[in-house]
Amino acid sequence: MPFRLTLFLFFVVKLCAYAEIQSLRINEVIASNRTGKLDDAGNSSDWVELHNAGEKVLRLGKFQLSGGDDKPSAWLLPNIAIAPGGYQLIWMSGLDRVSLSSEAMRTSGAMLPFESTLVAADVQWKYLVPSGSREVADGWNKLNFDDSNFAIGKAGFGYGDDDDDTVLPVGTALVLLRHTFQLQDRPLSQSLVLEVDFDDGFVAYLNGTRIAEANAPSGRLNVNSIATEGREAGTADRFDLSAHVDLLRKGKNVLAIAGLNAGRGSSDMSLIAGLGFLPTPLHANFRLAREGGELNLSDPNGQVVDSIRYAEQVADQSYGRAQNEEGELGFFLTPTPGASNAGPQQSKPVVSKLFFSPKPGVHELGVKVSITSEASAGIDIRYTRDGAEPTAKSQRVDGPIQLNKTGLFRAAAFVGGERVGAIKSATYLVGRQPTMPVISISMKPEDFYEVHMRSSATGRSSERSSHMEIFNTKGKRKVSTGFGLRLHGGFSRRGDFKAKKSYRAYFRDVYGSPKLKYNIIPMAGVKDFDKLILRANGNDRAPGGAYIRDQLMRDLHKDMGGLVSSGTWCLLYVNGNNYGVYNLVERMDEEFMASHTGKGEFDIIKTGNTILSGTRDAWEELGRFIGSTDLSRKENYEALKKRVDIEDFTTYMILNLWGQNYDWPHNNWYAARKLPDGKWRFMCWDSEWSFRGGPYKPDNDSYAFIDSGGAYGFSTKRKMFIALLGNPEYREYYQAEVRRHLDGALLEENVLRRTRQLSDAIAKEIEHEYRASKYDIKIWRRQIEEIKKFGRIAGENFGKWTDDYFAFRNKPVSNHGIARLENKAGFRHLAHLNADGKWMELVAKPNSNDWAVSTLPLSPPASGRPALFALTKDERRLVCRGADGHLYEYASASNPGTNVKWSRQNLTKMLDLPKAAADPSVVVANSVPHVVYVDELGEMRELWFDGQWRQFPLPAMPRAEGGIIASLDGSMLRVIYRSMFGVTYEQSLNLDSATPKNRSWITEGVHRLPAIGQPLGLTVKGRRDTVFHVARDWPRRPPFIFDWNERRRVPGYFTYEGERNALVYAKEIGQRFKNQYHVAHTTDQLYGDFALFLDTKNDRHYLAFRNPEGDILESVLQGEEWILTNPSELGDAPQAKGSPYGWANAKTGTRHYLYQGENSEVHQLSFEGKWTHQIISPNTSKVE
């Protein structure tokens, strides 16, 4: 009996298993998918649908799919599950994979959403903007971290774009985000993906492990961490985390993200993230035959459990089982992938073909259009006139239709309520012969509205199916094809439905053809295109533009030998409506590069460091190389030549500077290289602000722009140009190239020739567009004349500016102030020049007010003010500029004596560096002295001693005029100076992350007001502010003072209305420009340099300067105001001859000022409840 029972149970189990297997069947097949469902790569692959008709979950492991007798090799299905009554698609692409495509990882390239979401893009996060300490809290990214002091906010996070749900403080450089989520079971899928839209960088952690990053510094983050590159938000990037899926645990998990900004002065910041699994696509290893064939499904034992033999298929009509119990096989006019076959069946495919008579094109008024058909079954023809897709309820064709104006037809055949075949579009241009090619687009009106109005939508998901017809100038239709339409552009995306905007056309198999096989842009020399851009010239169009500025720049770039996107002109109609003149151009992507440079694979990067092809790896490596390499060295210059086409880059820079393309280089650019080791090349794009197209006058010096002004952003291109100008060989080469191009492509005759070609090509249609819009055509003609005027003077201007810029020499600057040191042993040292030009030193022992005065035996003779510092307890070191221009370091014991010996080193000669043109400045950080100085060319260098003396150049732009001052702000080394164009600049280096070979200096300018003298910086509550002396008169060559854009978009924009020839306090507000305030009572009172220091005990900043009468005046910062007093008067002190040196005692908060009197004697003003005065030394000119 037990044996019989066991046998019976075994039989039942086997029978049940067999029944489950039998419930799996082939439900639907399509072997000619053209406009239906897309696979994970966005392709219209054919497919097979399996259906689990049983009542239990069924796993597909070891099932096989084969193509019949002629395809004996079977495809083994993966072990995934189908729910009871569920469906599973198998893509018959022949790719043999069950992993995601690279397209699926690009939100801009595919429309594949998360299959399951762990962290949605709009959830609540814990967040913290850290401040205070140099380090972020340990373990902040781990699961058990106490985040009770974090705030709560909804994603996205940021400021400056008016699109953030949680607005961060303006000027935020770092934000820490945490979100915990629950996982019920460990995931079976490996397709874990992080999706992040960010500006400018981030680091992501899953349960404490670093899993993804972009534009992020290496190592541990601190409060001074910033993004290494800039990026504009708008399109999310996807990061494949399949290698990290094991970090997920059942139960509670935490996703932590550090959002990074490019700097505290950045105008915006953005971060929004999501985490989830993408569906696992199944791609079989063979394809279906359109002409018909057999398809078999076998169980794990090799037994065929279902089979379908299908006949020849018609595009987009499937073959499958009816929904009833019998499951009869037949054809469906409407395929239903992933769902039951609910539609009526046909015994055979239905074929139809539509005809328009006369043919679409240019016709006289009153033309009558007939639409007829040839079909294999009884059909109705239905049509629309507004671009909508015909339905069974649309107007039926009952006879010819008369047209008295330009019109559009979209027609299709119908069997009952189902459409048969593709929609046919036809445009009739009635009553007028255009003078340029015509592009007519037809599409659903609601789709066009969505494309036009969704200004933030990007990527494949924003693309809508459309139809394009192209007519030549004779009115003959040359192209009729499907395509996908997207909105194109940046700022120009904004505007209402009436605004003229730019579009992008994509030609794909799914729309009908993967290529536009027509030479629509003859000058491109390309036979076919996979995409095109219809440029509306958003900043250069009616009613106030010329339309031709961008095309003119690209034409001139081509004349100079550059790689360019060629363009032509066309009239655009959308759903029968005339949208006017458009510039039709090539899209600069991998197809463009292959067409113009040869087949291959490419890295292509554009504005915002957006990837069009390849990866960012080589581009980021180039940025790191530029930031960590002294390109003034020949060997490093040669190494850069292996990465970058120097001739191409130089041509690109010359054209943009000559053409005054001032919405660049931070914006509107492309760069590309061929893999694996091609050189980077650069392409012009969207140059609508060139040729006086922006808010500038033609006398704005291009070098003031690139050096000291509007070229903000410090992109890789600008950094590279700046670094190259530090190389003597390149400087000579660049100047020679300027002369060559000014005598060639940029010669007045060629510029005017190109201008006439373009303006003549569009003149008639522009006049028609202006009349239709009731604009004044004289405005367009004046714009063309402005361009011609620019072309006549640009060469002379740019040649002169080039000569002046490279002829600049920094005049020697000396400051006869006082240097002070108090070392760890308690010795105090003062050093200064006396009236006879000798170096004097005053030394006081610990706890003594007796000062020993001696002449320093420095040789060669020194010039200006020295810098004093100490590395050990009982020493002092002095760095100064000698009369010969070299930098010298002297060192001696601290205890003064008659036989003190000083060691000496010539630092500039030892390191083979140029001579100094101004006094050096020194700070000591972690026992390492950092010496900064500026040379005759206005270029700056950092020297430091960490066991040996090393050096590294600061960015060669902005070039300094005068001296520079170094200071230490936490871990940040700050260097502040005035550029050769009068703009105050500060360079900052994070010493925590700096290495001897990687010193990434960050540059920030204080624009709008030209400075004189030496500016100084201060840190107020984490903000970096500046004080400088504004000039009485603008310099002859004005600095690039630009606030047009800021005025338009920043609420409460602050305009400086104070005095000139005065001190100005520039306060950081997290925008491109700092707010600038007049420091009261300083007009005509400032004489010489000023002092600025922090009283750390009382957390107050003090500013002191000498007025023309010799009084030392002091201002204290209270809120946003500086309150002025006269310590000289209050302390009954004699007049000063030199500038003051000030400091505050860290323990007591008492303030002190040192200055030289009329006879070089040293005075001290001190405040300890009241101002007092004492003479530190007598007349030092008498001391030997």
| Lowest mean pLDDT across 142-151, 734-743, 849-858 | 849-858
**What is the DSSP secondary-structure string of 550-615?**
HHHHHHHHHHTT-----EEEEEEEETTEEEEEEEEEE--SHHHHHHHH-SS-EEEEEGGGEEEES-
The pTM (predicted TM-score) of the whole model is: 0.81
User: Prior bond to 335 cis, omega within 30?
Assistant: no
List the helix and strand counts (H, then E) for the chain: 15, 71
Give the residue among 628, 579, 318 at the shortest CA–CA distance from 452. Answer: 579
| Structure-token match 């996060």, residue found | 125
Name every residue whose Cβ is closer than 8 Å to that of residue 146 and which is 6 or more positions away in sequence.
none
Half-sphere exposure of 602 (CA within 13 A, CB side): 26
331 touches 349 (CB < 8 A): yes
Answer with the residue of higher pLDDT: 838 or 462.
462
Give the residue among 680, 1066, 98 at the shortest CA–CA distance from 89. Answer: 98
Look at the chain and report how many structural domains it folds into.
Answer: 5
The enclosing domain of 125 has a CATH number of 2.60.120.260
Confidence (pLDDT) at 590: 94
Q: Average pLDDT of the chain?
A: 88
The enclosing domain of 84 has a CATH number of 2.60.40.1260
Confidence (pLDDT) at 1043: 47
Q: In angstroms, rounded to a whole number, what is the distance separating the alpha carbons of residues 521 and 519? A: 5
User: Prior bond to 860 cis, omega within 30?
Assistant: yes
Name every residue whose Cβ is closer than 8 Å to that of residue 587 and which is 6 or more positions away in sequence.
504, 531, 532, 533, 565
Confidence (pLDDT) at 7: 35
**Residue 745 scores a pLDDT above 70:** yes
Residue 790 pairs in a beta bridge with none
User: Do 660 and 798 reside in the same domain of the chain?
Assistant: yes
Model confidence band, residue 5 (pLDDT cutoffs 50, 70, 90): very low
Asked whether residue 750 is domain-assigned, the answer is: yes
User: Do 496 and 525 reside in the same domain of the chain?
Assistant: yes
Which DSSP letter does residue 849 get? -
**Residue 924 scores a pLDDT above 50:** yes
3-state secondary structure 1001-1017: CEEEEECCCCEEEEEEE
Give the 3-state secondary structure of residue 453.
Answer: helix
| Structure-token match 């008492």, residue found | 1150
Q: Among 736-750, 844-858, 1123-1137, which range has the highest average pLDDT?
A: 736-750
Name the CA radius of gyration of the chain, rounded: 37
Q: In angstroms, rounded to a whole number, what is the distance separating the alpha carbons of residues 594 and 1063? A: 57
Give the 3-state secondary structure of residue 227.
Answer: coil
- Percent of the chain at pLDDT > 70 equals 91
Q: In angstroms, rounded to a whole number, what is the distance separating the alpha carbons of residues 479 and 18? A: 56
User: Do 310 and 356 reside in the same domain of the chain?
Assistant: no
Answer with the residue of higher pLDDT: 893 or 590.
590
Answer with the residue of higher pLDDT: 605 or 1159.
605
Where b means 16+ CB within 10 Å and e means fewer, 846-864 reads eeeeebebbebebeeebbb
CA angle 949, 954, 957 (to 5 degrees): 160
Scanning 85-234, the segments in alpha helix (DSSP H) are: none
**Residue 177 scores a pLDDT above 90:** yes
Q: For residue 881, give both structure tokens.
A: 């500029």
* Boundary residue ending a domain (532, 559, 586): 559
Asked whether residue 628 is domain-assigned, the answer is: yes
Name every residue whose Cβ is closer than 8 Å to that of residue 326 and which is 6 or more positions away in sequence.
none
Confidence (pLDDT) at 1045: 45
224 touches 134 (CB < 8 A): yes
User: What is the mean predicted confidence (pLDDT) over 637-647?
Assistant: 98
Confidence (pLDDT) at 512: 85
Q: In angstroms, rounded to a whole number, what is the distance separating the alpha carbons of residues 143 and 123? A: 18
| Lowest mean pLDDT across 423-427, 478-482, 1119-1123, 1140-1144 | 1119-1123
* Amino acid at residue number 898: T
User: Do 656 and 764 reside in the same domain of the chain?
Assistant: yes
384 touches 390 (CB < 8 A): yes
Confidence (pLDDT) at 1072: 65
Q: Among 299-303, 308-312, 564-568, which range has the highest average pLDDT?
A: 564-568
Name every residue whose Cβ is closer than 8 Å to that of residue 247 and which is 6 or more positions away in sequence.
206, 207, 209, 211
Q: In angstroms, rounded to a whole number, what is the distance separating the alpha carbons of residues 151 and 157? A: 12
Summarize pLDDT for 1002-1042 with one digit per residue, the tens: 888 887 788 888 999 988 877 889 999 888 776 545 555 54
* Boundary residue ending a domain (782, 807, 832): 807
Asked whether residue 248 is domain-assigned, the answer is: yes
Q: For residue 334, give both structure tokens.
A: 């409407």
Confidence (pLDDT) at 110: 52
**Number of neighbouring beta carbons within 10 Å of residue 1179:** 15
- Walk across the sheet containing 903-906 and list its strands: 862-869, 875-882, 887-893, 903-906
Give me the phi and psi of 1108, to 5 degrees please.
-60, -25
Answer with the residue of higher pLDDT: 160 or 771.
771
User: Do 655 and 703 reside in the same domain of the chain?
Assistant: yes
Asked whether residue 241 is domain-assigned, the answer is: yes
Compute CA distances 1075 → 713, 1053, 1054, 1070, whole Å: 19, 8, 6, 10
Q: For residue 327, give both structure tokens.
A: 């499951």
Give the 3-state secondary structure of residue 286.
Answer: coil
Summarize pLDDT for 99-143 with one digit per residue, the tens: 777 776 665 555 577 878 999 998 999 999 987 655 788 999 999
391 touches 537 (CB < 8 A): no
User: Do 233 and 299 reside in the same domain of the chain?
Assistant: no
Asked whether residue 828 is domain-assigned, the answer is: no
CA dihedral 804, 784, 537, 701 (to 10 degrees): 10
User: Do 628 and 645 reside in the same domain of the chain?
Assistant: yes
Asked whether residue 910 is domain-assigned, the answer is: no
Confidence (pLDDT) at 833: 78
**What is the DSSP secondary-structure string of 879-917?**
EEEETTS-EEEEEEESS--TT---EEEEHHHHTT-PPBS
Handedness of CA 736, 738, 744, 749 (dihedral sign): negative
Which DSSP letter does residue 639 get? H
User: Do 728 and 790 reside in the same domain of the chain?
Assistant: yes
Q: For residue 388, give both structure tokens.
A: 């909508």
User: Do 424 and 474 reside in the same domain of the chain?
Assistant: yes
Compute CA distances 651 → 603, 677, 737, 1165, whole Å: 21, 21, 8, 58
**Number of neighbouring beta carbons within 10 Å of residue 274:** 21
User: Do 360 and 482 reside in the same domain of the chain?
Assistant: yes
Q: Where are the beta strands (DSSP E) in 207-292?
A: 209-214, 237-240, 251-260, 269-277
959 touches 915 (CB < 8 A): no
Scanning 212-266, the segments in alpha helix (DSSP H) are: none
Asked whether residue 617 is domain-assigned, the answer is: yes
Q: In angstroms, rounded to a whole number, what is the distance separating the alpha carbons of residues 509 and 493? A: 28
Confidence (pLDDT) at 957: 82
Confidence (pLDDT) at 731: 96
Q: In angstroms, rounded to a whole number, what is the distance separating the alpha carbons of residues 748 and 739? A: 13
Model confidence band, residue 1046 (pLDDT cutoffs 50, 70, 90): very low
| Lowest mean pLDDT across 48-52, 111-115, 736-740 | 111-115
Q: For residue 899, give both structure tokens.
A: 């036989």
Confidence (pLDDT) at 101: 75
CA dihedral 325, 330, 336, 338 (to 10 degrees): 50
Give the residue among 713, 542, 731, 706 at the shortest CA–CA distance from 650. Answer: 731
- Percent of the chain at pLDDT > 90 equals 57
Name every residue whose Cβ is closer than 8 Å to that of residue 881 and which is 6 or more positions away in sequence.
814, 862, 863, 864, 887, 888, 916, 918, 919, 920, 933
User: What is the mean predicted confidence (pLDDT) over 157-165?
Assistant: 83
- Strand (E) or helix (H) holding 5: helix 2-22
Confidence (pLDDT) at 1037: 53
User: What is the mean predicted confidence (pLDDT) over 299-309?
Assistant: 92
**Residue 994 scores a pLDDT above 80:** yes
* Boundary residue ending a domain (234, 258, 277): 277
**Residue 282 scores a pLDDT above 50:** yes
Confidence (pLDDT) at 1160: 80
Q: Where are the beta strands (DSSP E) in 489-520?
A: 502-506
User: Do 400 and 525 reside in the same domain of the chain?
Assistant: yes
User: Do 364 and 448 reside in the same domain of the chain?
Assistant: yes
Q: For residue 55, give both structure tokens.
A: 């009542």
Q: In angstroms, rounded to a whole number, what is the distance separating the alpha carbons of residues 1039 and 1005? A: 11
Confidence (pLDDT) at 574: 98
User: What is the mean predicted confidence (pLDDT) over 786-805?
Assistant: 96
Which residue range forms the structural domain that includes residue 634?
A: 598-807
Asked whether residue 255 is domain-assigned, the answer is: yes
Give the 3-state secondary structure percentages of the chain, helix then strand then coil, rounded to 5: 20, 35, 45
Answer with the residue of higher pLDDT: 727 or 1071.
727
905 touches 889 (CB < 8 A): yes
